[in-house]
A and B are shown apart, each in its own frame.
Chain A
């Protein structure tokens, strides 16, 4: 029966090509705009940590003085990070920040180039599920006793070593030799959730260096340094001893009980620091906070406000399109009343008439949805080129392949429900009389 209705729907659409085109056009534009804004939202609101989201905690401390910052700081001071790193509650933990270095190898043909470098602890790789291609992360002992070792990403390994196993080879960061201990496979979570403070849609770094080298190598900070009081940073020692915040600290816990224990540990730590005269703003109930990945994505407003406004407006836009096709459909169906009257007279049930018309509406929705996807995709390509959108944003999120046709067909059916209902109420007698 369904196939028959499809056939009828197709005939009906072809009978009034202009009207059908208009309806398909209207719904496809509505769907297109909605899908476009939803796609940006889907891409940006993806939580790449998956089921590990609850286990990974970013640490935030209320370290400021009175009348200074109004919010928790997402970055910490060096002294706090060094203190927290000694804690034993979490399963794993990692301090981190970003720097940049000029990279060279023993191969003189390769020109020096700038690369971002992530300075972090060995646990980073297990915490954020970084896959290894060759070798492995540096020994845990290196987190305490620094060594000049480095883990590099596949893309860099391809460029510098033609993709061969480069473990054991030497890489120069600002002419300083580092021994390669591991090569990671392609890894670039979007949003870059392990560091949302320096651009959430950027690619992951391709170089990882032990955090323990920081006091020796005095790595520059490629990221924010926030201070709430006047402290000139003349030397790197000043920076490390100051109240300036510039580091992130992550901890991994297995259970909610562990998270609670970690939270208690943090509170105790803040208390101990307050005793020492730090953290002078005591105008609160708590001074330490942990946030899991989902909470952090929300906290850093990874999905921009503009996108939310656009989603709202595009849904309203879709509503206009639906009202529009509702009107057109009503018009079209009513015109067909005489034909329906005859069909009812020769035995078609109300349900059959209703179903037949809904199939027709569903067809319009499906075609409109497909066209809408095409609009959305091309619009994203165009916008990306014109407005420097990150590449990640231009790809249709996998979820969109389900969302788009569902919205299209469901909304078209909703719009078609009333006209179909009106038409199936047609009394055969009225039209038979006038034949």
Chain B
């Protein structure tokens, strides 16, 4: 490093340019650190696995509008048709679709007496039969799925036992490490519900829900309770476009008085429902890149001007024996002095901005690594932005520079 003192005194003589640069660096650190932190948050959110074979599983719904239609029988017949179609690996009825943005949620209690029972956490409530585990490609880690034929057709149907399969998060939230298999829960009345299985993971409908990972499947085929019936199908990715046509044709052929709609894979649901977060990350990402570009260009421009203004001075120094490296390091030192000061204030400002964002919005506190990384990034960017024009300065020949003195 060359002597800092003359550099400092040179800077103090024309204060405005370095001060502006300082302001720019301070603001950049505050913005980039917070933006990067928010991006990271969103990426983490989007990266959470759903537990579902998202590209292989798709949903659709059937709206039956025939006046005299037996909707319960219709659902059973439709399921039969679907399960007999070639290319379909699994088909299941459902009341809600994962990651779709619309669904059911409910709560269990651990005893039949509503006054004394303890509440289990809130969960996404799937009503389906033994095939849903298969149709969503869920991984059963404990217990079993429902027995074929042991499926209820309504909440007041008491023909068979009520059973549930829980997501692991749901099971752990209430029973910790203890196995939930065989445990009995209640839903407000005194009908016991037995836990028969645990799947590794199953997400609910709302991606911004705090309880996204809490899910329960109950052995009720709820289709046929209203005009609308929904199904989840699993098939090879390549077969899906064709299957959508085949399914529509087969179901309409059997009963034309209906509207079949809404074909979409769970992967498509995911994309739709995380679109806000993806957009936020994308816009902030663009902001960071543009900010760095603008800072770098502005800095280069100013260094370039400085060089022109100081051509004679640089030439004189070169004539007096300063090496090219010394000239280069003069500009770099100048830059690092400003960057260092800017970093100190900028990091403080970044935390202040982060604190404000946290107070006003549902954001966590800024992680210290983000300001640190931003400073490192600015170190690289400004170095490049200074070196390119400063090399020109170092090449100033003493002869041309001093000629007019």
Q: Give chain A's interface residues, CB within 8 Å of chain B.
A: 19, 22, 25-26, 29, 33, 100-102, 112-114, 174-176, 220, 229-230, 232, 234, 304-306, 308-310, 312-314, 316-317, 319-321, 323-328, 330-332, 335, 383, 386-389, 418, 422
Contact = CB atoms under 8 A, between A and B. Distances in A.
Given A102-B65, A220-B227, A234 B27 contact: no
Best-buried of B67, B276, B282 by chain A (most CB within 10 Å): B276
A323 B20 CA distance: 6
A418 B276 CA distance: 41
A397 to B, nearest CB: 18
A312 to B, nearest CB: 8
A308 B38 CA distance: 13
Given A323-B23, A323-B24, A304 B302 contact: no
Given A101-B65, A102-B63, A230-B188, A388 B275 contact: yes
Closest 5 CB pairs of A and B: A230-B188, A102-B65, A324-B298, A387-B279, A327-B20
Interface stretch (B4-12, B163-171, B286-294, B383-391): B286-294
Interface stretch (B70-78, B121-129, B257-265, B367-375): B257-265
Contact of A387 (B30, B156, B275): B275
Contacts of B27: 316, 319-320, 323
B194 interface: no
A227 B39 CA distance: 36
A335 B309 CA distance: 8
Contacts of A304: 276
Contact of A316 (B31, B227, B258, B305): B31
A305 B362 contact: yes
B359 interface: no
A330 B287 contact: no
B278 A175 contact: no
A387 B281 CA distance: 11
A310 B283 contact: yes
B24 A230 contact: no
A47 B120 CA distance: 41
B349 to A, nearest CB: 10
Interface string B284-308: 1001001100110110011001001
B245 interface: no
Given A174-B65, A323-B27, A22 B301 contact: yes
Nearest to B262: A114
B189 A230 contact: yes
B361 A232 contact: no
B282 A386 contact: yes
Given A102-B259, A387-B278, A320 B291 contact: yes
Contacts of B360: 308
A229 B261 CA distance: 34
A114 B298 contact: no
Given A102-B258, A387-B276, A330 B28 contact: no
B187 interface: yes
A312 B23 CA distance: 18
A112 B291 contact: no
Contact of B20 (A175, A316, A330, A422): A330
Contact of A317 (B65, B282, B287, B357): B287
A175 B67 contact: yes
Contacts of B283: 310, 383
A319 B23 CA distance: 10
5 contacts: A230-B187, A323-B24, A327-B17, A335-B308, A383-B279
Contacts of B279: 383, 386-387, 389
Given A33-B287, A232-B155, A324 B294 contact: yes
Given A220-B228, A327-B24, A328-B301, A175 B280 contact: no
B257 A175 contact: yes
Interface in B6-60: 16-17, 20-21, 23-24, 27-28, 30-31, 34-35, 38
